[in-house]
Copies of this chain bind each other. A is one copy, B any other.
Amino acid sequence: TRSIDLAVVAGDGIGTEVVEQGLAVLESAVAGSDVKISTTEFDLGARRWHATGETLTDEDLGRIKEHDAILLGAIGDPSVPSGVLERGLLLKLRFSLDHYVNLRPAKLYEGVTSPLANPGEVDFVVVREGTEGPYVGNGGSLRTGTPHEIATEVSINTAFGVERVVRDAFARAQARPRKHLTLVHKHNVLVHAGHLWRRTVEAVNAEFPDVTTDYLHVDAATIFLTTNPSRFDVIVTDNLFGDILTDQAAAITGGIGLAASANINPDRTAPSMFEPVHGSAPDIAGQGKADPTATVLSVALLLDHLGLTEEARRVETAVAADLAERGGRVRSTAEVGRELAARVAG
């Protein structure tokens, strides 16, 4: 038997509801195999912060690191000042565990209605850099709250950091039928960071000569995501542009209720983390209304990352089949989870 130790951070709002279903589907996927999943729950998020003032302690982080992977629901609540949990918990996890590949597939499944009139076939992945760029938290403010305030945000980009994520993106492009990589940046304005990205893509391309590449400014990318999303195969981009483009990508493929993501440490020096792209949605929390599909698809990414590719495929196939037959049916979070788990069991 192979035992997988999973750290579970259900978090806030609908996080707990969707994670419960994600775990049920995960169990179903490995049932009857020699894989055994054990889970450890971590009490992190708004409740813990209100109770203790803590977001993520060194001890939490140390214990999380002992696991094989992390399943995260959602972080954030209106009762907590903006930035506290995002920077102190979610981004701290991504940065501390060196999740430099933030992988976000965008696929328009059969049966899902796109808000676009003519979406065509949409099936691409965004490789969003996860440990640098404008997200580093390097900034500050002076004379805060006065008419002379100045606030800065520094985007930091290193050859080391850009090269490793670009190489990962090339490898992913090479493994796909179309073998195409699009760099998205804004190198005509952000010339220093942008040219580093551009030079890196050109250099690493030599290692992947069969991968074709092109470049789009981030503003133009939002146009193509609206008018011709089929043109994309793999997108590689920085942390902030990736944040923006993946929400738009989710919107055109049926909404963030379906969008999965993986925060991957490809060097496996720390556990990778799998989470739906959506947030904690306090407006519908506790009502059993949330769609757990994004979490279930994140579980498929988790299985894949752990080398359980056959199990991953079964989970994705179950979701695809469910989406194809879903129609306008209104189901609870638990119903969707139950039906998906049943399909995975086969």
Contact = CB atoms under 8 A, between A and B. Distances in A.
Interface of A: 76, 82-83, 86-87, 91, 113-118, 134-135, 137, 139-141, 143, 145-160, 163, 186-196, 198-199, 218-220, 222-223, 225-227, 240, 243-248, 250-252, 255-256
A193 to B, nearest CB: 5
Given A226-B248, A227-B251, A190 B243 contact: no
Given A83-B187, A137-B191, 14 more contacts: A82-B195, A86-B188, A116-B116, A135-B189, A139-B191, A141-B192, A149-B159, A150-B158, A152-B154, A152-B192, A152-B193, A153-B157, A219-B248, A222-B248
A227 B244 contact: no
For A150, A187, A220, the residue with the greatest tally of chain B CB atoms inside 10 Å of its CB is A150
A153 B238 CA distance: 13
Given A116-B116, A116-B117, A117-B116, A223 B146 contact: no
27 contacts: A82-B188, A82-B198, A83-B189, A83-B194, A86-B189, A115-B116, A115-B118, A116-B226, A134-B190, A139-B193, A141-B196, A148-B158, A148-B159, A149-B159, A150-B156, A151-B192, A152-B155, A152-B156, A153-B193, A154-B155, A155-B155, A186-B243, A189-B240, A222-B222, A223-B255, A226-B226, A226-B252
A58 B53 CA distance: 55
Contacts of A188: 76, 82-83, 86-87
Contacts of A250: 223
A194 B140 CA distance: 11
A212 to B, nearest CB: 18
Contacts of A134: 134, 153, 155, 189-190
A187 B82 CA distance: 7
A140 B139 CA distance: 16
A153 B155 contact: yes
A143 B158 CA distance: 10
Contacts of A189: 83, 86-87, 91, 134-135, 240, 243
A48 B87 CA distance: 47
Given A153-B154, A156-B150, A222-B248, A140 B187 contact: no
B115 A256 contact: no
A155 B95 CA distance: 21
Contacts of A248: 219, 222-223, 225-226, 248
Nearest to A139: B192
A251 B245 CA distance: 15
B247 A115 contact: no
A196 B149 contact: yes
Contacts of A139: 155, 190-193
A251 B115 CA distance: 14
A118 to B, nearest CB: 7
